[in-house]
Amino acid sequence: MENLRESHMQQRVGRRVVLFPSPLQGHITPMLQLGNILYSKGISITIIHFNSPITAKYPHFTFHLIPIDLMEHEAATADVIDLFLLLNVNCIEPFKDCLVSLLANVEEEPITCVITDAVWYFTQPVAESLKLPRIVLRTSSVCSFLAFAAFPLLHEKGILPIQDSQFELSIPELQPLKVKDLPVIETRNPDALNQLISGMVSQTKASSGIIWNSFEELEQTALTKFRQDFPIPAFPIGPFHKYFLASSSSLLSADQSSISWLDKQAPKSVIYVSFGSLAAVNEAEFLEIAWGLANCNQPFLWVVRPGSIRGSEWIELLPNGFLEILGGRGHIVKWAPQQEVLAHPATGGFWTHNGWNSTLESICEGVPMICQPSFGDQRVNARYVDKVWRVGVHLENKMERGEIERAIRKVFVEAEGLELRERTMVLKEKADNSLKQGVSSSQALDSLIRCISSF
């Protein structure tokens, strides 16, 4: 792992790329990490964004705000799918205008290409109209992308839209996925979801290449299938967050008491609980989590994001004195420095929603998981964690304190937990190794730099 400061010294190579992340936490983090990786190779970085408060942490990038009021759009749409559909229309003109003015700026290095999040499918025709190559960044797993790409086939076969009676049915084309693992996202407007996915898939196919925050040794089978179906260069250069000492792109501020509390716990004893930046639970589920943790006898560090319990502000539903009764065995924060938490010697397990960043971060620290996917790609990631990589226990039923307690015991106390831990350590070593010179991710990065330089 290199210190980014050293790469500030790196000679600039006289090329600039323009990055356009999606504004969600799980998307913006990998895009900024990618910016750092490219910057360390001498490429200058411009970021087009709406409103993110992270600019001060990246003084080596140039930021351009486009005049789109995200809050206003959020208020006007029913859900995140509607929001993205609308943004894919409303951003066309401002994004194009911004690119045109950047291209006209002769004081900066020439722009060689744009790298945009896969959800911004509108950027492909815009880039083409300006004769700029577009490379896609997909911020989730390859296996979940293949599931999205199979949606038309699944519609044809009558598997989509999902019927409850087919939940347990295996899907031979997407093994080991079952119907219940498909990355559907609850939305008031299913047509919007189909439109978004079809735009993402078709405009990825039309792009000049795709960057994955994944590595060959983790997703070899999925990458082989992707290369068969998508005749564009694929650059699996992940895990992104392992290139540099942690540089924060968190939109929320992390509670550092997480670390001082972990410092007081025994090695590999703590279950870390976090469901990311979007997933929410209802009040009954929240109480099942609380009692599952209270009854499990392991120390726990629990992130309860304000707004993540439907109907409650924060943890006011907990019985009075809940944490006091546990005598310091539990610590609750609103947001944690997750990468540091996972790397801490006291952390022994991660109860996660399996967002792709969280899944990779856990693998990279050798921390076995308890999987509690909520929607979209998380379901695919969870199934792979459980059945393919075999580094986690899958909680598949309704949240229930007894089941939660049993899953935690499995990871921390039973022989199966030891096996999970050993397999996670093997994957961690593969992840570390992939970044070494001449190995898969490092080679893919060299090819990416050659590709960017060839435009």
- Note whether 339 binds ligand UDP by CB under 6 A: yes
- Note whether 278 binds ligand UDP by CB under 6 A: yes
- Compute the least distance from the CB of residue 84 to ligand UDP, in Å: 14
- Note whether 44 binds ligand UDP by CB under 6 A: no
Query: CB-wise, 250 or 424, nearer to ligand UDP?
Result: 250
Query: CB-wise, 145 or 208, nearer to ligand UDP?
Result: 145
- Compute the least distance from the CB of residue 103 to ligand UDP, in Å: 32
If we measure between CA atoms, which residue out of 237, 233, 240 comes closest to residue 215? 237
**What residues numbered 399-428 form the site for ligand UDP, per CB under 6 A?**
none
In the shown chain, the binding pattern of residues 7 to 36 toward ligand UDP, with x for contact by CB under 6 A and - for none, equals -----------------xxx--x-------
Helices (H), 309-400: 322-325, 338-343, 356-364, 377-383
Q: What is the C-alpha separation between 454 and 449, in angstroms, rounded?
A: 9
- Note whether 214 binds ligand UDP by CB under 6 A: no
Q: Are strands 210-212 and 134-138 parallel, antiparallel or unpaired?
A: parallel
- Note whether 277 binds ligand UDP by CB under 6 A: yes
Helices (H), 307-414: 322-325, 338-343, 356-364, 377-383, 401-412
Contact segment (CB under 6 A) with ligand UDP among 181-189, 218-226, 349-357, 386-394 equals 349-357
Asked if 88 contacts 202 with a C-beta cutoff of 8 angstroms, the reply is: no
CB atoms < 10 A from the CB of 178, how many? 18
How many angstroms from the chain centroid is the CA of residue 272?
A: 18
- Compute the least distance from the CB of residue 83 to ligand UDP, in Å: 15
Q: Tell me how many degrees the CA angle 138-144-147 measures, rounded to the nearest 5.
A: 120
- Note whether 356 binds ligand UDP by CB under 6 A: yes
- Note whether 276 binds ligand UDP by CB under 6 A: yes
**What residues numbered 319-338 form the site for ligand UDP, per CB under 6 A?**
335-336, 338
Query: CB-wise, 43 or 145, nearer to ligand UDP?
Result: 145
Q: Strand order in 210-212's β-sheet?
A: 62-65, 44-49, 16-20, 111-117, 134-138, 210-212, 234-236
Q: What is the C-alpha separation between 174 and 167, in angstroms, rounded?
A: 14
**What residues numbered 238-257 form the site for ligand UDP, per CB under 6 A?**
250, 254
- Note whether 303 binds ligand UDP by CB under 6 A: yes
- Note whether 355 binds ligand UDP by CB under 6 A: yes
Q: What are phi and psi of 64, to 5 degrees?
A: -130, 125
Token representation of residue 193: 């979801």
Which residues, listed in sequence order, are joined to residue 330 by a DSSP beta bridge?
A: 300
If we measure between CA atoms, which residue out of 227, 224, 232 comes closest to residue 206? 232
Query: CB-wise, 185 or 278, nearer to ligand UDP?
Result: 278
- Note whether 204 binds ligand UDP by CB under 6 A: no
- Note whether 133 binds ligand UDP by CB under 6 A: no
- Note whether 372 binds ligand UDP by CB under 6 A: no
* Contact positions vs ligand UDP (CB under 6 A): 24-26, 29, 250, 254, 274, 276-279, 303, 335-336, 338-339, 355-358, 361
